Amino acid sequence: MDSGDQTKPIKQDSMSGYAPVNGLRMYYEIHLPAGEASGKGTPLVLIHGGGSTIQTSFGKILPLLAQHYKVIAVELQAHGHTSDRNSPESFQEDANDIVALLQYLKIDKAHIMGFSNGGHTAMQIGISHPGIVNKLILISSFYKRDGAIPGFFDSMPNATLDNMPAPLKTAYLKINNDSTGLQAMFEKDRGRMVHFKDWSDEEVNSIEAPTLIIAGDHDVVTPEHAVKMSHIIPHAQLMILPGTHGSFIGEICTAEPNSKMPEMTVSIIEEFLNK
């Protein structure tokens, strides 16, 4: 596909496309409940984690969510199918890119769900673009550096591509057989975390949307920080699940074989969205 105004079928009730967004050729997928031509109700936007793709973050739960919602899954700057640009990554720019994509798709309001760094982007959307958010779901995310487990940031400055999980490298190279692009994505992801700046309590407190915070009991974000977030965001609920970073949504690096946890997590998300 060569232009921003074309889409193509992925499978029945699903399509993919590229949109011209802030200097990017931004990839997105739209998944609809079976038999629906356009989807009913408020769409659900999925934002993947750092170094990831739609499938590596959400491959287990996207089909379950798409049984009931119009799901719009995106790939961010330099990730997956989406092009790069001559600028560092930032959560603010990612937030702006997603809002521009929704405007391109003529969507005025959506539920926003992000995992890991995608959760940081989702939180930034809730802060900077509150009018477009119906409900917000933040998975395995923190708003201050001290919200991460001890030592998380210490190794970042010296991290190399060798430290990147193999399934994420494989997924990128399957889409783009380009080791230079992989290196560039890694360095931009690393740079953003090395220079991670806290959001203030006042910024997080400004989030207006009803918010569901989800974290594992052995996650990158500490349970104590997740509790703090749930107290600061005015209309927040919190769910702490047994598991590691993303295991409870079936993220490719931490998924546990035959686990029913992703299905349970989706059930809670659906209950939250349907209230």
What pTM was computed for the model?
0.96
Distance CA 265, CA 12 (A): 25
Give pLDDT, residue 39: 67
* Torsion-angle region of 254 (φ positive above 0: left; ψ -120 to 50: alpha; else: beta): alpha
Q: Which two tokens stand for residue 31?
A: 């998944």
Instruction: Give me the pLDDT at residue 37, please.
Output: 61
pLDDT score, position 3? 42
> Which pLDDT score, from 0 to 100, does residue 103 have?
98
Tens digit of each residue's pLDDT, the chain (275 residues): 334 556 777 777 899 999 999 999 999 999 999 877 666 689 999 999 999 999 999 999 999 999 999 999 999 999 999 999 999 999 999 999 999 999 999 999 999 999 999 999 999 999 999 999 999 999 999 999 999 999 999 999 999 999 999 999 999 999 999 999 999 999 999 999 999 999 999 999 999 999 999 999 999 999 999 999 999 999 999 999 999 999 999 999 999 999 999 999 999 999 999 99
Contact 58, 29 (CB under 8 A): no
- Looking at residue 2, what is its pLDDT? 37
Q: Where are the domains of the chain?
A: 7-274
The pLDDT of residue 38: 65
Q: In this predicted structure, what is the pLDDT of residue 36?
A: 72
What's the pLDDT score for residue 6?
64
| pLDDT of res. 78 | 98
d(CA 181, CA 186): 9
What would the CATH number be for the domain defined by 7-274? Answer: 3.40.50.1820
